[in-house]
Amino acid sequence: MENITVTGDFGRKPVLTFDSTEPSPELLVEVLHEGEGQVVEAGDEIHCHYLGQVWNGKVFDNSYDRGGALTFQIGVGMVIRGWDEGLVGHRVGSRVLLSIPSEYGYGQRGVPQAGIRGGDTLVFVTDILGVA
């Protein structure tokens, strides 16, 4: 993805490097590693590892350090809109990079306790491990 470099292999905690201070105003989705498994559909319960970071800022959450992936229903409003729109249609085994503008994330309210200010663009690297 333009302005973001991701290092690390599928299933391992990635590291993000930002080449610009200005994020895109659009939802951007890039497949870093294409899986060969089942295609994720809206309504599926998926199992993922992820790292979430504020654009050009700090990591606010990741499942790698906790040692356990997250399972959630996708495409039905259970997670932020950027995940719902950015992960549906990809295959199990894929590593997906998402740049999520605030209107697809936490909007102007942010999540201050997590270090996410209102209007922040979020960047996620998500490894799709399976569909329940």
Per-residue pLDDT 10s for the chain (132 aa) are 878 999 999 999 999 999 988 899 999 999 999 999 999 999 999 999 999 999 999 999 999 999 999 999 999 999 999 999 999 999 999 999 999 999 999 999 999 999 999 999 999 999 999 998
Q: Which CATH number does the domain 4-131 belong to among 3.40.50.10320, 3.40.50.2000, 1.10.10.10, 3.10.50.40?
A: 3.10.50.40
Instruction: Give pTM, 2 decimals.
Output: 0.95
Distance CA 128, CA 6 (A): 16
pLDDT of residue 12: 95
pLDDT of residue 39: 98
pLDDT of residue 38: 97
Contacts of 53 (CB under 8 A, 6+ apart): 16, 59, 60, 122, 123, 124
